[in-house]
Amino acid sequence: MRRYRWLCVTAAAAVLALLLSLFLLPGCGKSKPATGEEGKEEAEAQGEQETAEEGTEPKTVTLTLYFIKSEPSDMYLVAQKRTIPYTTAVARAAMEELIKGPSGGDGLIAAFPGTVKVLDVSIRDGVCTVNLSKEILTDKAKQGGAGAAMEGLALISIANTLTEFPTIQKVKLLIEGKQSGQVDGFYVEDFWGHVGLPEYLERNMAVVRNP
């Protein structure tokens, strides 16, 4: 009887040892969860992948720019849509695109020399203050200047382009930080010599026509 009991205990111990060895064997059961630095790297990799997937279609913004159309008996503004890469500085981007001039094929005129630089743009209480470089005066003169009609439409093109944004009601134009006084021998307040530079540029859709 004692021998029988001893055999049973021995068998039970062997079975228990076998079960424990199977349970602890590497590779069995669930995979080990990522912890510590491994978990951090995995999370970062996943985040980078999600960012890349979200960025597969770059965001854009569509601007409405106003350019001059000159005909034998008339001169007016025409609106032109332009899509550019997304930016939070949309007013500055709109001014820069206006200076670049119209897209080809519409017979529109670039009113401003392409050498003009946008020095600063700020918006406060509905007024957008735009500071442009001196080339708007000096290089325009090198191009032969402009008549009164083109000068007036050029200023309105700035106002109409920037007041497309709901936060802007009117525009204050500066040249090298000035609204009056001389810049390289040119009087800022005279602008191109006919209309002159008013304190504020305001929206005027009466001079806009469909192409």
Distance, CA of 160 to CA of 154 (rounded, Å): 10
Q: How many domains does the chain have?
A: 1
Would you say residue 17 lies in a domain?
Answer: no
- Please tell me the predicted confidence (pLDDT) of residue 56: 57
Burial (CB count within 10 angstroms: exposed 0-12, middle 13-18, buried 19+), residue 153: buried
What is residue 191's three-state secondary structure?
A: coil
- Please tell me the predicted confidence (pLDDT) of residue 35: 33
Would you say residue 83 lies in a domain?
Answer: yes
Regions of the chain where pLDDT drops below 70 = 1-57
Residue 140: which domain range? 60-207
Q: Of 141, 130, 123, whose CA–CA distance to 192 is shortest?
A: 141
Would you say residue 18 lies in a domain?
Answer: no
Would you say residue 47 lies in a domain?
Answer: no
Would you say residue 46 lies in a domain?
Answer: no
Would you say residue 22 lies in a domain?
Answer: no
Phi-psi domain of 27 (left: phi exceeds 0; alpha: psi -120 through 50; beta: other): left
Radius of gyration of the chain (CA): 36
Burial (CB count within 10 angstroms: exposed 0-12, middle 13-18, buried 19+), residue 7: exposed
Would you say residue 5 lies in a domain?
Answer: no
Residue indicated by tokens 């060895």: 21
- Please tell me the predicted confidence (pLDDT) of residue 55: 54
Would you say residue 126 lies in a domain?
Answer: yes
